Amino acid sequence: MIYAYRTDIGQRNSNQDSFYVPGEGAKSMVMVADGMGGHRAGNIASLIAIEAASGYIEESSNIARKAMLLQHAVNCANTEVNDASNTEGCEGMGTTLVMAYLESEAFFCANVGDSRLYHYDGEKLVQVTQDHSLVEELAAKGAITREQMHTHPLRNVLTRAIGTEPYVKADIFVRRWTQGDILLLCSDGLHGFVPDSDILWALQNGRDLFECCDLMVDFAAWYGSTDNITVVLAKNDCNYEKWNDTRRIGESDGSGVEGLNVRRAASIHFANVNGGSSHADD
């Protein structure tokens, strides 16, 4: 697998997104979380969710059914965030969470909230997840159009989130993919402003995954995204020869991305300052 990612603070004062890509020897999974609940609480919620979910999957070896594994990981993340929300200053915090567990012929996906996963097969871009948001429900009922979702005053209201209730049910998807296919995980700072047609253009025209990430974040800025923007790409390439990225774990690349929390030979990224781009491989 090949991974690339970029996060950007956008027009916000802080970056409340967190994301995960695997390090050397770790299981093949990717995640994005978009925190909510204020400056400090949103940062904490997204990081706790990523740490809890990735840690649960990495340490679980006896759950053969991947769909069950992902729901259990979501349950773990939900419990951890919900418990932490009782801490002073963190009341009411929560986060979105979208994740994918990757195998050579299929991927397994779980989501709660409105962070998305897309599947690009070299021709078509398919939105795999469904947003758990008020505007998504209104659009499904025909009360508003898909175009009106992007400007609706209640577009940020979620109907399901990690940590806001004692239990949350994730949507689980299983989908086949083949050599060369790409998965895109992103927060609503991207998909809430950039049309799918432009996301597809970036994937088709980027010279590599790194440039695809840069193009998407640039599109978001051009469209006036008012939120943090996080993009994670995973490419199905089992023949990829590993290379040494000296900026890989715990080292600054000069982009301003800080707050790396590294454990289990894996990378958990908590971007709380000016964004930038980093990349990894497995």
| Inside any domain, residue 249 | yes
219 within some domain: yes
Q: Cα separation of 118 and 141, whole Å?
A: 23
Q: Could you tell me the two tokens for 229?
A: 């923007």
**What's the domain range around 129?**
2-269
- Mean pLDDT, residues 3-22 taken together: 91
Q: How many Å separate Cα 169 from the centre of its chain?
A: 18
Provide the total of helices (H) and of strands (E) in the chain, helices listed first. 7, 14
Name the H helices within 60-92: 66-84
> Does residue 281 form part of some domain?
no
Answer whether residue 44 shows pLDDT above 80: yes
Would you say 280 and 24 are in contact if contact means Cβ atoms under 8 Å apart? no
Domains contained in the chain, number: 1
CB 88 within 8 A of CB 57: no
pLDDT at 89: 79
**Residues 157-210: pLDDT tens digits?**
789 999 999 999 999 999 999 999 999 999 999 999 999 999 999 999 999 999
CB count in 10 Å sphere of residue 146: 10
Contact, 212 vs 3, CB < 8 A? no
Widest distance between CA atoms in the chain: 51
Considering the domain boundaries, does residue 51 fall inside one?
yes
Residue 277 lies in a domain: no
The answer to whether the CB of 96 falls within 8 A of the CB of 37 is no
Residue 280 lies in a domain: no
249 pLDDT tier (thresholds 50, 70, 90):
very low
Which long-range contacts (C-beta less than 8 Å, at least 24 apart) are formed by 70-76? 70/99, 70/101, 70/108, 70/109, 70/110, 70/170, 70/172, 71/110, 71/169, 71/170, 71/172, 73/99, 73/110, 74/110, 74/112, 74/162, 74/168, 74/170, 75/167, 75/168, 76/52
Is the full-model pTM beyond 0.75? yes
Residues 6+ apart with CB under 8 A from 273: 9, 14, 15, 256, 257, 258, 259
pLDDT, tens only, 63-106 = 778 999 999 999 999 999 999 988 887 888 999 999 999 999 99
Residue 88 resides in a domain = yes
User: What CA–CA distance (Å, rounded) separates 73 from 50?
Assistant: 10
Residue 282 maps to a domain: no
Determine whether 274 is exposed, middle or buried from the number of CB atoms within 10 Å of its CB (0-12, 13-18, 19+).
middle
Average pLDDT, the chain: 83
CA dist., res. 119 & res. 32, Å (int): 15
Query: Which helix H or strand E contains 38, and what residues bound it?
Result: none
Q: Residue 180 sits in a domain of what CATH number?
A: 3.60.40.10
What pLDDT sits at residue 152?
74
